[in-house]
Structure 1
Amino acid sequence: MAAELGASRLLAPYFSSSQIVWTIIIGTIMIALALGAVFGGRWADRDPNPDKLYMRIMVAAVWISLIPLVGKYLILLISGMLIVTVSTNFLIIAAFVSCAIIFVPPLFLLGTVTAGLNKFATTSLEDNASVVGRLSACNTIGSILGTFLPTFVTIPAVGTFVSFLIFSGALLVIPLIYFISIRARRVSCAVCALIFAITSCLSPLTGFAFWENSSTLAYEGESIYNYLQVKNLSDRTILSTNVLFGVQSVTMKNQGLTGMYYDTALAAPALADHADSALILGMGTGTYARQLKQYYPDMKITGVEIDQKITDLAGRYFDEPSSIPVSTYDGRAWLAASDQTYDVIMVDAYQDITIPFQMSSTEFFTMVKGHLNPGGVMVVNMNMISDGAGSINEALTDTIASVFGERNMLTADVPSTTNRELFAKTIGEDKSTKGASDIKRDAKAIPLRSVTYMRTGSEDLKWYMNEVAERFEEVEAPGSASTILTDDKAPVEVLGMRAIDQLIAKEAGPYREILKTEGIGGLLRAVQ
């Protein structure tokens, strides 16, 4: 279990921690253990030699100790090979191949242990069942410890790499004691101990993103929920939770517009009937909160962020305003426990390809709508531009339209990014006409500019809103065949995987063509 949890943390920075990745990890490891049990039983019957059993344990322990040192290089090598050769299901194939190469061999060897121990511990058929029961109990106790210790103790305290070393070291001690006690396999013991010592010294010195410039890498670590990386560049500070698929949060060092999706999302308080309060679900490092405070200094802002470590980093590296209260809580659970309402609610909880299903369903968006004041606006940051039938953005848009109504919604793509902002407004009162407020009328250039300047006094933001108005697109009504996400059925992982395939196809397309026409040599020349 410790290896399984370690596998999830090793793969997460590269492939996310979605249900798809967890399924691949669990399935691959279960296959390895099952095969190990079959072959372990055969080997024990054929040659019941405990030396061979302890040797397999020792090899498995050394292999696991090498994972933090070698594993990340293998993952990147496998990803690099597949990204130019695989057209679809990249995430599934890359995660499966990586897991199979890195984790199947040692866990296959460990899978042989129980059958071998059963053979050695059984002296007669009369107590065979008792022996099997005791071995199963020990197995279960070990699994319990391997489940709780990495999650709640070792990974938060010392990280994934050192956790691998701790558990592999504990495993290595067992065969070393055995062989030393019988004075056998001394050379093998010395070699394995030396390899473990070397990897123990070198592994903590490297990180997941080992290629990054150490002068710009301000922080690399882990929390209970995420791999975390902070890069300090000349003009911005970046938080990443995935080393392959982009960034989670960015803060510009100069005040003003960021050039990112936060700027487009500033249309929300201008589209709302009032701009007195805002709730941010997925506070991150507080960039959107800082933008709101800069342009709407009197706005009361509340943040919700599930990861306390991110909140800590926000104060340490990103100058998150201390005046903004941030609750460490799941966004939906926080809504369920609160009765407050807001003029603006920002949903910014979708990290790359990891979309929490419980924050993408009709039930969730109904809850958000219930926490908006009349004429309030919800803005949702959708991380990947993925259009067409069956896309994640189509499913999210149709789901929100089923709650707010398509007439009360607009979308705006963010230039030079893979972000799309979706705006949805509740019914309010238009003071000028005494009728219902209309998001489509309010989103036109002149009224959007006017309201923005009236509320903020910023010329820069006023004229930026003029450009945002040109990017607004209306939303079509959901059809009978539309995918409406619910708590019962929300296949966000599969839909997100399709979006990743599209992004990879777009970015890797030229390299695939070079590989096809010029071979490996041409590809190597192209990437130099």
Structure 2
Amino acid sequence: MSKPLPRPALPEKTSLFAIAFLEGAMVLSVEILGAKMLAPFFGTSLIVWSSVIGITLTSLTAGYYFGGYLSKKQNPATILFTVLLLATFTIVLMPTLAYSYIGSFSEWSIYTGSFFSALLLLGPPLFLLGTTSPILIQVMTQSVTESGRLAGTLYAISTVGGILMTFLQGFLLVPLFGISIPLLFCALILLITTLGILYTSRRLIYSLPVFLILLFQFNNLSNWDKPKRSTKVSIPYSSEGLLGQLKVVDFEDPNSKNPLRHLLINGIGQTRIINNPTAISFWKYIHLLSVYSSLQKGKKEALLFGFGAGSMSNELNRLGMHVDAVEIDERMMGLAKKYFYFSDTATRFVVDDARHFIRTEKKKYDLIIFDIANGEVQPSYVYTKECFTEVKNMLNENGLILFEFQELMVPDRELVFPSICKTLKSTGYEPYYHLDSPNGLNDVMILASPQPIDFANLKKENMTGCCAMQPWVPALIEHPFNPWKNELDNARVFTDNQPMLDHLHAASLKSWRESMLAYVVRREMIEGYKLFK
């Protein structure tokens, strides 16, 4: 029979299980909210999430190991209190440190900048939280025979805390209150629970500085959207949500001197208009999409994936088409009406994922447009052979599909758009492409139809007024598209089982985000705005 281990003077098991539950909840809160803090500057691409998840696992692993070492020390109650107090302190500092780290690494690449920002921002609190589980297991174990059962129960309770907090943060707290308030309330709950379970008068005194810093951080939240310098930039709207940060930013274009209004998702522009009731898009790609859409002038049904703030829907309305707009973020229509002068009441606005809508919608269309980047990220599951096959069933006779896609054109780089064209070709489409420039970051237009396309209808009189006036239109009419002829041997066929787009597109994502950082986000930082609430 095994000899019982000496039991330290600690609270009852129920209280210690409560600490385990809270530890799991705090770990997921730090990971989710820390990633959200980095998103306005570094985005939410696979690169950033790889950094966040990798640092999370590394920090917890180190914490578990160090916690095992600490569990052998004397005075486990004091050690547990100290670890939890330090964890609370590092969580309280996260909103302030995030701005410091973003500023320090703003000139670094997305790879290194996101990695070191995640390491310094998430690493300390996650390391400290990770040390608590081994300490709890040690002090709760009275005999060797029950150690496995206790460890399993404790990790299960901790995991349940993480699960519940994930749903609570994602579905309720972040959409309602932003990032900083939920994080600071988590820190407050951790501090109060730690004191309540491990209370002594001396520990209360040690906790007072952390509590005062917490109050200071709460007070600072009232000034989050007030610039510290000038008023060259204004932010009439900002919100956090499950699908990312949405922000409306106004400032004057430094070259044209036009007053511009931008809609940003995680710091990346989704819509840019001249800020007056005409709501003319300040982006060339919108006019390109509108010009190519005029090939279907006289036809009625258009399907738009990616509503944004309504610029493309406005263009289709001007062409006399009825628009079904599919948008994953339900906030978009309200923003379009309130801040981007969108007034069309005939547009059918559907909150849905593009792939799900394609599989479930029975209606057929004359024109289907994919303008679906979320921030800088293109959803790879839309550019597959299986998806293109499903889309074909949604087209009327002589129907067209039109894609807008960002591509970085540099030597010796495997390009993505040839693989999209090859995938379309393998599915029975006749694909065509247009490059706005042979070098640098490009808006690539891809047009496809099950039948060869007649470009004779591409005439100024069929275009909207603002598009027909563009100086590049005559040259475009002369040479509208290049037919795809399998020019590149290394082009791939994308499938659901081999979604290579994220990997191949990484360099373009990096270039697109860095260009947008220079144009908008750093401008906000210079003016003294905070990047998240």
AA aligned to 1:194 is: L
Partner of 2:293: 269
AA aligned to 2:307 is: M
1:438 aligns with 2:438: no
Partner of 1:319: 341
Kept in 2: contact 1:306–1:329 (CA 8 A): yes
1:228 aligns with 2:246: yes
Partner of 1:47: 74
CA deviations on 1:175-203 (whole Å, 9 max, x unpaired) are 33356x32113442111111111112214
In the alignment, the residues of structure 1 paired with residue 288 and residue 509 of structure 2 have an alpha-carbon distance, to the nearest angstrom, of 23
Structure 1 residues 219-298: aligned runs within 5 Å: 219-233=237-251, 235-243=259-267, 246-252=268-274, 253=276, 255=278, 258-260=281-283, 261-272=285-296, 274-294=298-318, 296-297=319-320
Partner of 2:207: 189
CA RMSD across the alignment: 3.1
AA aligned to 1:190 is: L
Tell me whether 182-191 or 29-38 shows the greater mean CA deviation: 182-191
Q: TM-score, normalised by structure 1?
A: 0.82
CA deviations on 1:60-118 (whole Å, 9 max, x unpaired) are 112112112221331231132x2xxxxxxx33322211111111111111111011111
Deviation of 1:459 (Å):
9.0
CA deviations on 1:183-226 (whole Å, 9 max, x unpaired) are 11344211111111111221453269998958521111112101
- Secondary structure of the corresponding residue to residue 105 of structure 2: helix
- How many residue pairs get matched? 480
1:488 aligns with 2:497: yes
1:118 aligns with 2:127: no
CA deviations on 1:434-466 (whole Å, 9 max, x unpaired) are xxx634x43xxxx522xx415768894597632
Kept in 2: contact 1:453–1:461 (CA 8 A): no
CA deviations on 1:483-526 (whole Å, 9 max, x unpaired) are 22221112332223212455689999xxxxxxxxxxxxxxxxxx
Kept in 2: contact 1:342–1:376 (CA 8 A): yes
Select which of 388, 393, 406 maps to 1:370.
Answer: 393
- Secondary structure of the corresponding residue to residue 386 of structure 2: helix
In the alignment, the residues of structure 2 paired with residue 208 and residue 424 of structure 1 have an alpha-carbon distance, to the nearest angstrom, of 45
Percent identical among aligned pairs is 22
Kept in 1: contact 2:432–2:447 (CA 8 A): yes
In the alignment, the residues of structure 2 paired with residue 472 and residue 371 of structure 1 have an alpha-carbon distance, to the nearest angstrom, of 25
Kept in 1: contact 2:264–2:375 (CA 8 A): no
- Secondary structure of the corresponding residue to residue 409 of structure 2: coil
**Higher RCO structure (Cα 8 Å, ≥6 apart):** 2
Kept in 2: contact 1:401–1:409 (CA 8 A): no
Structure 2 stretches lacking a partner, 5+ long: 1-27, 252-257, 518-533
Kept in 2: contact 1:352–1:384 (CA 8 A): no
Partner of 1:413: 436
AA aligned to 2:422 is: D
CA deviations on 1:281-311 (whole Å, 9 max, x unpaired) are 01111111112223x23x2111010000122
Partner of 1:511: none
Partner of 1:70: 97
- Secondary structure of the corresponding residue to residue 94 of structure 2: helix
AA aligned to 1:487 is: D
Identify if the C-alpha distance between structure 1 residues 493 and 128 changes in structure 2 by more than 3 Å, giving closer, same or farther: same
Kept in 2: contact 1:257–1:263 (CA 8 A): no
CA deviations on 1:200-253 (whole Å, 9 max, x unpaired) are 22145326999895852111111210111102346332100132xx41112333
- Secondary structure of the corresponding residue to residue 353 of structure 1: coil
Deviation of 1:473 (Å):
4.4
Structure 1 stretches lacking a partner, 5+ long: 83-89, 429-436, 509-528
1:403 aligns with 2:427: yes
Deviation of 1:173 (Å):
1.4
Q: TM-score, normalised by structure 2?
A: 0.82
AA aligned to 1:284 is: G
Structure with greater proportional helix content: 1
